[in-house]
């Protein structure tokens, strides 16, 4: 394969151009086509010596909203948003490295929920944008990612960035990702019992950096924050019902509004006459999660890294600082949910969904996954200035498949 040969020629240059100081820097471009937005991550690596692994030097990150799935009926317009982000890479990567810099896009739950036909049309248009760019386009460079990879690759990213994948004493941490349309839980089981009690499709072996990790991971489609809003409203998979009003005790009493998600328009509002507040809202949300998720015993006492909407909602309610992140207990989300839901008038400048979102997060953690009230959550957006996203793990995986790292 000629592309592959090019990789080797340019990335193992030690014996060809030994004193070329710049030749040891290379790049990888990974797109995250999420349900609520599309993001580009341009990673820089430096190969300090031929016998060592390349080191991650930095990241350029940019994002646009909405996500590709909002362009389900205009795939060319969707691909245009990818092209604009890719133009950033033209500026960021030196021209002589363009043809050896791989570009890959992986789509998550937003595209998983579209019809096969619409999803493939979007991917095809994106593939054309890639082919027209000067970058290296590997096989399968544009695809819908399997949900189990989404969890594993985020776990790899977080544990790599926190230094847990190198050296002898590896104390890996579990990860919780709450997207718009799906949610992932991933950890490395410590107890033999966990392997015995877990359904086979929740366990995956994964090779990275010369180690094999047997991970517990699962992606719950339809359990992302925005999908959960629709489920709570009773509107999930209801696109046929035109103009119907969906009401919830989790919304401000007088609210009536419209909301677009995944190319569908929904009308929603508060319980004008009936109840509102945390108690009735919790019961509503409970119906969405109770008994729907696998609860591994082992996680009850352990702490997890949490990001995406866990992070965003904790920031919105001043539970953590946007720049710093922080450590929370599960019960902190519950306390905030009560505060917001029982005083909705006071929070009406924020999103009308704030009460529902916080209540859902509380129910998902406690009744869904089975975490304790005092389970610790490390909320993190960046580690050493690198985004805690599955995209870094995916880029390592890509470099590995291209023979650049092991």
Ligand X SMILES: O=c1ccn([C@@H]2O[C@H](COP(=O)(O)OP(=O)(O)O)[C@@H](O)[C@H]2O)c(=O)[nH]1
- Residues marked active site are found at 150
- Give 212's contacts (C-beta < 8 A, 6+ positions apart): 205, 206
Choices 114-122, 133-141, 307-315, 323-331 (CB under 6 A): range interacting with ligand X: 307-315
* 182 binds, options Ca ion, ligand X, none, Cβ within 5 to 8 A by partner type: ligand X
Sheet with 211-221, strands from edge to edge, namely: 203-208, 211-221, 182-187, 174-178, 304-308, 376-379, 326-329
Residue from 308, 317, 375, 378 in contact with ligand X (CB under 6 A): 308
Alpha-carbon distance of 144 to 394, in angstroms, equals 13
Alpha helix positions (H), 290-325: 309-316
Residues between 25 and 84 with contacts to Ca ion, criterion CB under 5 A: 34
Tell me how far, at minimum, the Cβ of 1 lies from ligand X, in Å.
Answer: 31
**Residue 33: beta bridge partners?**
38, 107
CB closer to ligand X, 359 vs 389:
389
Q: Which of residues 11-50 bind ligand X (CB under 6 A)?
A: 32, 34-37, 39
Residue with Cβ nearer ligand X (145 or 363):
145
Site for Ca ion in 176-235 (CB under 5 A): 179
Which one of the spans 20-28, 70-78, 171-179, 192-200 is the region binding Ca ion (CB under 5 A)?
171-179
The answer for residues whose C-beta is within 8 angstroms of residue 147's C-beta and 6 or more apart is 108, 109, 112, 182, 184, 218, 219, 221
What is the nearest approach in angstroms of ligand X to the Cβ of residue 194? 25
82 Cβ contact partners less than 8 Å away, ≥ 6 residues apart: 31, 33, 38, 68, 105, 126, 129
Q: Is 183 annotated as a binding residue?
A: yes
Taking the complex as a whole, how short is the minimal distance between the CB of residue 299 and ligand X, in angstroms?
A: 21
The angle that helices 354-363 and 330-341 make with each other, rounded to 10 degrees, is 150
With CB under 6 A as the contact rule, which of the stretches 246-254, 256-264, 306-314, 393-401 interacts with ligand X?
306-314
CB 174 within 8 A of CB 167: no
Task: Could you list the residues known to form a binding site for ATP, using ranges.
Answer: 180-184
User: Which residues contact ligand X (rule: CB under 6 A)?
Assistant: 32, 34-37, 39, 67, 108-110, 179-182, 224, 308-309, 312, 387, 389
């Amino acid at each position: 394969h000629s592309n592959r040969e090019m990789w080797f020629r340019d990335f193992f240059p030690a014996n060809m151009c030994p004193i070329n100081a710049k030749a040891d820097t290379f790049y990888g471009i990974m797109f995250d086509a999420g349900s609520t937005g599309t993001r580009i991550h341009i990673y820089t690596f430096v190969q300090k010596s031929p016998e060592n692994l390349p080191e991650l030097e930095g990241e350029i990150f940019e994002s646009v909203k909405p996500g590709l799935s909002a362009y389900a009926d205009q795939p060319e317009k969707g691909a245009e948003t990818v092209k604009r982000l890719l133009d950033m890479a033209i500026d960021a990567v030196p021209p002589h490295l363009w043809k050896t810099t791989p570009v890959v896009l992986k789509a998550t739950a937003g595209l998983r929920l579209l019809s096969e036909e619409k999803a493939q049309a979007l991917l095809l248009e994106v593939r054309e944008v890639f082919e027209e760019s000067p970058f290296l386009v590997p096989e399968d460079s544009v695809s819908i990612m399997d949900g189990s990879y989404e969890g594993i690759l985020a776990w790899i990213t977080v544990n790599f960035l926190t230094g847990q994948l190198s050296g002898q004493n590896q104390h890996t941490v579990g990860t919780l990702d709450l997207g718009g349309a799906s949610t992932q839980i991933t950890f490395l089981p410590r107890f033999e019992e966990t392997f015995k009690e877990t359904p086979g499709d929740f366990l995956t072996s994964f090779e990275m950096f010369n180690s094999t990790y047997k991970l517990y991971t699962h992606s719950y489609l339809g359990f992302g924050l925005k999908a959960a809003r629709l489920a709570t409203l009773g509107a999930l998979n209801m696109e046929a019902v035109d103009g119907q009003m969906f009401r919830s005790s989790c919304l401000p009493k007088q609210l009536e509004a419209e909301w677009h998600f995944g190319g569908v328009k929904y009308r929603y509002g508060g319980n004008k006459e009936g109840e509102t507040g945390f108690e009735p809202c919790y019961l509503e949300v409970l119906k969405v999660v109770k008994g729907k998720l696998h609860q591994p015993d082992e996680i009850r006492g352990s702490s997890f890294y949490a990001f995406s909407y866990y992070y965003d909602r904790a920031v919105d309610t001043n539970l953590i600082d946007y720049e710093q992140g922080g450590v929370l207990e599960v019960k902190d989300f519950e306390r905030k949910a009560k505060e917001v839901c029982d005083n909705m008038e006071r929070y009406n400048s924020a999103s009308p969904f704030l009460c529902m979102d916080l209540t859902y997060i509380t129910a998902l953690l406690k009744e869904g996954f089975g975490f304790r009230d005092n389970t610790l959550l490390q909320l993190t957006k960046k580690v050493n200035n690198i985004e805690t996203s599955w995209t870094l793990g995916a880029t390592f995986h890509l470099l590995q498949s291209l023979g650049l790292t092991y």
